[in-house]
Amino acid sequence: MKRALRFALSTVAFAGIWLIMLFHAQILPGLELSPAVDLVIPAIPLWLLVTFGSYSLANLGWALIIFGDCPAAQVSLLKEIQTAKMDLRSHGVSID
């Protein structure tokens, strides 16, 4: 619960700051931001989404690259398949 609360608070704080910067002309009329900042601020959520997606895909790809083989599990699975085939044949089911 601690991590979820920290994430929620961070999200609310970021969203609040982002909204204030997005609508700075209406909320804080005296605050003047450069035109470049005014162009970048609306794109921040999309940039965060793309960054998170890229990180997730890279993390998934790395996990697939370093995924180890399990020869013992392979042997066990092949035995279970053979047992299931024999059981189905004994019940009159045609296999292969």
CA atoms within a 13 Å half-sphere pointing along the CA-CB vector of 65 = 6
pLDDT of 1 above 80:
no
How confident is the model at residue 60, as a pLDDT? 97
Whole-number Cα distances in Å, 16 to 21, 22, 49, 90, 95: 9, 10, 17, 67, 63
pLDDT of 96 above 80:
no
Q: How far is CA 31 from the centre of its chain?
A: 36
How confident is the model at residue 28, as a pLDDT? 82
Segment 47-66 mean pLDDT: 97
| pTM (predicted TM-score) | 0.62
Tokens linked to 90: 């004994």
Instruction: Read off the pLDDT of residues 11-24 as tens digits, 9 standing for 90 and up.
Output: 999 999 999 989 98
